[in-house]
Structure 1
Amino acid sequence: MGDHLVRAEEFEKKAEKKLNGWGIFGSKYEDAADLLEKAANSYKLAKSWDQAGKAYLKLADCHLKSDSKHDAANAYAEAAKCYKKVDTNEAASCLERAVNIFCEIGRLNMAARYYKEIAEYYEADQKIDQAIAYYEKAAEFFQNEEVTTSANQCNLKVAQYASQLEQYEKAIKIYEDIARHSLGNNLLKYGVKGHLLNAGMCHLCKADVVSITNALEKYQDLDPTFTGTRECKFLSDLAGAIDEEDIAKFTDVVKEFDSMTPLDSWKTTMLLRVKEKLKAKELEEDDLT
């Protein structure tokens, strides 16, 4: 590891010498770029991630000065990979610079991909607001490039986190839009009932029985096959339990569904919120009596 570090520093010094010297027709930037790439790789082998990231940033600068924008964007992306191991914010900043260049040269699919990656960085750091913002950007770019599946994946992340932040209307709109657009796609239509279930659960979290009842009618009009699904019955039974303010019935409905179709953590969280509201309402009524 020590040898790699020494080698990296030597390559970097040679690159600096090239940059500070005279060069013909920009060749000094190309020569320095070769040396900086070797330096960055050696720093990576030495697991000196911060130094590797800095070397890639210098490499990006060389590529920009020799008007190799695509190479510069790739260097920023490589810098991000290194910084990801030590500094998420710096990694996101590097990817943002890569995105700006990819937008400039018309590589919007790459821009979308890196916006998604930035979102994942923030997601891993539990910075949910930033994650939502970048998933939204990624979704927009993917949609513009007609990469529907990737756009949907990003939008579903937005809906997931929006609902966790109790932004239920925002989440509902996303789930319903994806369901609606998926109906005409043979590959995506099988996921429709899941999206409608998620939208319905967000309605339940609003603790508005009229809202969920109206939503169920709308969903069955949207997709007549939804009527006979376990998901539709689940939502309908939950709405009934909420309307009757029957916590035991609510719990039984959840247990029955979970035994057939195991609930993921998001659904469990949403259902616990609904149950807590039911309990609070019950206590409130007990206090009144």
Structure 2
Amino acid sequence: MISTKKIEEGQELIRQAEKSLKTSLLKWRPDYEVAADEYQKAATCFRLAKSYDQCKDCFHKAADCHKQARSWFHAAKCYEQIILILKETNNLTQVEEFANRACHLYQQHGSPESAASALDKAAKVLEANSPEAALRLYQHAIEVVMNEDSTRQAAEYASKISRLMVKLGMYDQAADALRREIGLNQQTESYGAIGRLAVVLVLVQLARGDNVAAEKAFKEWGNCCDVQEVQTLEMLLQAFDDEDPDAAKQALASPFIRSMDVEYSRLARDLPLPKASYKSPNAGNPAPSAGDSAPPTIEDDMEEGGLC
């Protein structure tokens, strides 16, 4: 009964919105602001009635009216409301599209923080089921804040990009992303964060199978690591150099590695261990015993009639 009443209320608000958009001899211009307000009220009614398609349609029409009135900020807010409806109905295919639309309108309004925030919130919605789309939104967000010289905010988005790339197994790109993140943390003098990122970069390089790059990363950034991090990395790199899987396993079991962000602790858990080098049972070439026959020498062959 309540749903029916709300739907009827919403339909009446739509009629009022459409009336505001009509022109006549005495009314030359549509009243976009009034129409947008009526459409938004109608969207709320349909949402309460759980008529989500009608709700989404009304928010879309409200956004169009706000754009006609050059009210970019309020139009963007309508697109963000559509994203919430898509999340509520678990219909995520259009989330990225509406997030980018909202971002563009916030930028037009001169609100880069709101633009980046819209991308960030949408990426969180997508991260579990569509991580590739979430990654694109985070990458867009970092571009937005970098244009505003917001280094600290950029570092936060860079962190999300690095973690997501590791989660997706994109180790080549993750290594580049981590170096970029380290660079941003250098600008803010966040040396503790750089030390932790150095550990992750070493793990990523080992996951790529590039032990030389892993050692180079440690030499370059190890001075930002704390004592426990340094000792663990030294032990880990030595284990890979010695092809000692047991020592590598011991290093990767370090408590601080297990307490890292979940994507990085999983990387450490699943890191392929070095394979112990094979030693031949005849290693060392022991001298033949007295009973063994020595191979013939050239002189012996010549005494028996030459080499022919």
- Shorter-chain TM-score bucket reads 0.7 to 0.9
| 8 Å CA contact 2:166, 2:263 repeated in 1 | no
Confirm or deny that 1:95 pairs with 2:136.
no
| 8 Å CA contact 2:20, 2:31 repeated in 1 | yes
Give me the whole-angstrom Cα distance separating, in 1, the residues matched to 2:187 and 2:23.
62
Match of 2:235 among 230, 234, 237: 237
The answer for the alignment partner of 2:133 in structure 1 is 130
| Structure 1 alignment gaps of length 5 or more | none
Q: Secondary structure of 1:47's match?
A: coil
Q: Which has the higher helix share?
A: 1
The Cα of 1:208 is off from its aligned counterpart by 2.8
CA deviations on 1:26-60 (whole Å, 9 max, x unpaired) are 35323322211211121222233332221110111
Shift in alpha-carbon separation, 1:83–1:13, aligned structure 2, 3 A: farther
Give me the whole-angstrom Cα distance separating, in 1, the residues matched to 2:131 and 2:257.
32
Give me the whole-angstrom Cα distance separating, in 2, the residues matched to 1:263 and 1:185.
21
Give me the whole-angstrom Cα distance separating, in 2, the residues matched to 1:260 and 1:70.
43
| Structure 2 alignment gaps of length 5 or more | 283-308
Corresponding letter in the other structure for 2:105: I
The answer for the alignment partner of 2:252 in structure 1 is 254
Give me the whole-angstrom Cα distance separating, in 2, the residues matched to 1:59 and 1:235.
56
1:39-118 matches, within 5 Å, as 39-86=42-89, 87-118=91-122
The Cα of 1:233 is off from its aligned counterpart by 1.7
Give me the whole-angstrom Cα distance separating, in 1, the residues matched to 2:110 and 2:150.
16
Shift in alpha-carbon separation, 1:242–1:49, aligned structure 2, 3 A: same
Shift in alpha-carbon separation, 1:90–1:177, aligned structure 2, 3 A: closer
CA RMSD of the aligned region, Å? Answer: 2.7
| 8 Å CA contact 1:50, 1:83 repeated in 2 | no
The Cα of 1:20 is off from its aligned counterpart by 4.4
Shift in alpha-carbon separation, 1:46–1:64, aligned structure 2, 3 A: same
| 8 Å CA contact 2:86, 2:95 repeated in 1 | yes
CA deviations on 1:160-214 (whole Å, 9 max, x unpaired) are 222334332332233233334424535x333221111111111121233322222
Query: Which stretches of structure 1, 4 residues or more, deviate above 4 A after TM superposition?
Result: none
CA deviations on 1:80-125 (whole Å, 9 max, x unpaired) are 2222212222333222222222233333222222222332233132
| 8 Å CA contact 1:109, 1:145 repeated in 2 | no
Q: Percent identity?
A: 22
Match of 2:12 among 5, 10, 16: 10
What count of residue pairs does the alignment treat as equivalent? 276
Give me the whole-angstrom Cα distance separating, in 2, the residues matched to 1:92 and 1:181.
26
For normalisation by structure 1, the TM-score amounts to 0.83
Shift in alpha-carbon separation, 1:120–1:21, aligned structure 2, 3 A: same
Shift in alpha-carbon separation, 1:102–1:217, aligned structure 2, 3 A: same
For normalisation by structure 2, the TM-score amounts to 0.78
Match of 1:167 among 164, 170, 185: 170
Corresponding letter in the other structure for 1:97: R
Give me the whole-angstrom Cα distance separating, in 2, the residues matched to 1:102 and 1:165.
30
Shift in alpha-carbon separation, 1:78–1:25, aligned structure 2, 3 A: farther
